[in-house]
Amino acid sequence: MKTPNTLKEILFVAAILLLPFAFLASVYSSMPETVPTHFNMEGRANGFSTKEKLWYYILFLAALAAALYLLVRNIASIDPKKAAGASRRIYQKMAIAVVCLLSGINIVIVYSAKYNGHNTARLLYPFLGLFFVFLGNMMHSVKPNYFVGIRSPWALEDENNWRATHRLGSKIYFAGGLFIIIGTLLFPPKASIWILEVTVAVMALTPILYSFLYFKRNKS
């Protein structure tokens, strides 16, 4: 039997998943028959389709969001590392954040199709930065598991390595997310691409390198 809080969470997630469909329904009649459905890194349309196919695009992302929500929400039940159970509340928040991210992307897709790619990068990149800021706030509390976090082989084999790596990763993701938000809002789309790509590369590689160096320093 589901508790009232669980039911509220399910209803909230369902509402977030349905928002893009409601948005598309509200603008559908005013959209041209052919709309942009694919955009380059600068936010310019480089692929077109009939507006009917927009339903399939957002349905796919909504289904992916729901699947990821269920996976992340239930990591503690399926992960063989027993310590994962201590992070149930963190996984719950991350699962909801994933749903918000993918539903937000769906809304940007519909908005960009409606307005011919207008401000796609301006909308999407800061939204991604906000997601990284959220991950930075959560990451230091994630216990060792095989699904979420900085899963370097050295961190997975050593709880101290995992803890140290995620403390650093938490700071890097938070700072990187802020940098993406500010940088992509202040600079034009071409510069925003570099800001996003370089920052994400630094965020991804630095904690892994640190985890390896921690292993080398403490392997004795």
69 and 136 co-located in one domain: no
CB neighbourhood size of 140 (10 A): 16
Strand partners, 39: 45
**What does the alpha-carbon distance between residue 156 and residue 137 come to, in Å, rounded to a whole number?**
21
Mean pLDDT by groups of 10 residues along the chain of 220 residues: 72 95 92 74 67 90 95 81 69 93 92 75 86 93 87 92 96 96 87 91 96 88
pLDDT of residue 41: 61
SS3 208: helix
Gyration radius of the chain's alpha carbons: 20
| Domain coverage including residue 73 | 1-118
Residue 133 contacts residue 92 (beta carbons within 8 Å): no
Residue 150 contacts residue 207 (beta carbons within 8 Å): yes
pLDDT of residue 1: 44
pLDDT of residue 43: 60
52 and 1 co-located in one domain: yes
pTM of the model: 0.83
pLDDT of residue 45: 65
SS3 45: strand
7 and 114 co-located in one domain: yes
179 and 88 co-located in one domain: no
Strand partners, 36: 48
Residue 191 contacts residue 199 (beta carbons within 8 Å): no
pLDDT of residue 40: 64
**What does the alpha-carbon distance between residue 213 and residue 75 come to, in Å, rounded to a whole number?**
28
110 and 130 co-located in one domain: no
pLDDT of residue 37: 66
Domain count, the chain: 2
174 and 80 co-located in one domain: no
81 and 130 co-located in one domain: no
